[in-house]
Amino acid sequence: MDFIEERKKIVDYGKQMINNHLTTGTGGNLSIYVPDKQVMLISPSGIDYFKTKLEDVVVMDLDGNVLEGDKKPSSEYELHSIFYRNNPDVRSVVHAHADYATACACLRINIPPLHYIMADIGDELRCTNYKIYGSPEIAKEAYRVMGKNKGILLANHGLLAIGKDIDSAMGIARNIEMMCKLYIRASSIGNPVILSKDEMAAVEKKFKTYGQVKEDKE
């Protein structure tokens, strides 16, 4: 069995989606792209995340052909492959049905930058037009609306996050849910005060120096 490390991450992060309240049951899906092999590993369709085994993870090419595995892949595989095919910076995609994000998606609203953490997602959190799940149309619409951002809402559906690795994509998914929760709660009290473009640009610049400095290995 190939791609053991990637399989482990799909299984582990699938459990994280449940533990982080980003989805329920078997909803949502996640994938990892291996560019040197031009394959993606994606969660199987309809299997409980806590019952998913390494061998259940499906290996596919970007044309939708199953290369390894006897399980049916997520019906949303095109929602993943379109980003791997067109954006070389994307190595992981996470799709989830988190409560607050899905509530906002059902309202079909764009979430403005009411909190500085939006800079991790993009200029704002945009929502797509509605397209039925598991279709080429929803994949194309998601890619169009994503633009240069890292996360979007899928109308009447849920959230979608992309990243340089699965940890980054999962972080974006959590931040999307946080932004939607803040918007709903703040709006229930009054009108949220939106950060300006200059204020958001300053945050984005500051984010570049966030975290520990990586030392060069000799």
Determine the Cα–Cα distance for residues 5 and 9; give it in Å rounded to an integer: 6
| 1 has pLDDT over 90 | no
Give dist(CA 2, CA 39) in Å, integer: 11
Q: What is the pLDDT of residues 17-40, one digit of tens each?
A: 999 999 999 999 999 999 999 999
Euclidean distance between CA atoms 211 and 178, whole angstroms: 20
What count of other Cβ atoms lies within 10 Å of the Cβ of residue 62? Answer: 16
Q: What is the mean pLDDT of residues 98-118?
A: 98
User: Active-site residue 76, yes or no?
Assistant: yes
Average pLDDT over residues 172-200: 97
Instruction: Please say if the pLDDT value at position 111 is more than 70.
Output: yes
62, pLDDT greater than 90:
yes
Digit-coded pLDDT (tens) for 117-150: 999 999 999 999 999 999 999 999 999 999 999 9
Identified catalytic residue from 76, 78, 141, 177: 76
Domain extents in the chain: 4-207
CB neighbour list of residue 116: distance below 8 Å, 6 or more residues apart:
195, 199, 200, 203
In three state form, how does the secondary structure of 164-187 look? CCHHHHHHHHHHHHHHHHHHHHHH
pLDDT of 45 > 80? The answer is yes
> Candidates 3.40.50.2300, 3.40.190.10, 3.40.50.1100, 3.40.225.10; correct CATH number of 4-207?
3.40.225.10
Please give the share of the chain, as a percent, with pLDDT higher than 70: 97
CB atoms within 10 A of CB 12: 12
Angstrom distances, CA of residue 73 to CA of 31, 41, 67, 77, 78: 10, 9, 11, 7, 11
Give the pLDDT mean for 71-78.
96
pLDDT category at 216 given cuts 50, 70, 90 is low
208, pLDDT greater than 90:
no
Share of the chain above pLDDT 90, in %: 93
What lies within 8 Å, CB to CB, of 105 at 6+ separation is 127, 153, 154, 155, 156, 157, 158, 159
pLDDT band at 103 (very low <50, low <70, confident <90, very high): very high
Looking at residue 218, its pLDDT comes to 46
- pTM (two decimals): 0.94
Q: What is the mean pLDDT of the chain?
A: 95
